[in-house]
Amino acid sequence: MVRSDIIRGHLDSIILRLILEKDRYGYEISQEISLRTNNRFQIKEATLYAVFQRLEKKELIEAYYGDVSHGGKRKYYCITPLGKAYLKELVSEWMEVKEIINLFMEGLE
């Protein structure tokens, strides 16, 4: 299991990336994170919704309600043009950070 504090600083980019692929609702995003990481990382519901609020406040994502499904309307999230530009910055930043960390960590396995 990966320590959550290591990934916490990258939650915005992970969530924006998933929403870039297609509009998604909270539980779907949570499940997709677990699936893609082979359950090595699982996001807590409270954390996920705090990220949604932060991204909405910065106008990086927008929310809308979909059709009624399994007893209620699902709240979907879509990425805004501002969110796409921000994600591009985050990816560029991540590539640089990864390169720097690799300079010190390679060969220690």
Report pTM.
0.88
What would the pLDDT profile of 19-63 be if each residue is shown by its tens digit? 999 999 999 999 999 999 999 999 999 999 999 999 999 999 999
What would the pLDDT profile of 92-109 be if each residue is shown by its tens digit? 999 999 999 999 988 776
* CA dist., res. 57 & res. 4, Å (int): 23
Which strands form 24-25's sheet, in the order they lie side by side?
A: 24-25, 72-79, 61-69
Assign a CATH topology to domain 4-105: Arc Repressor Mutant, subunit A (1.10.10)
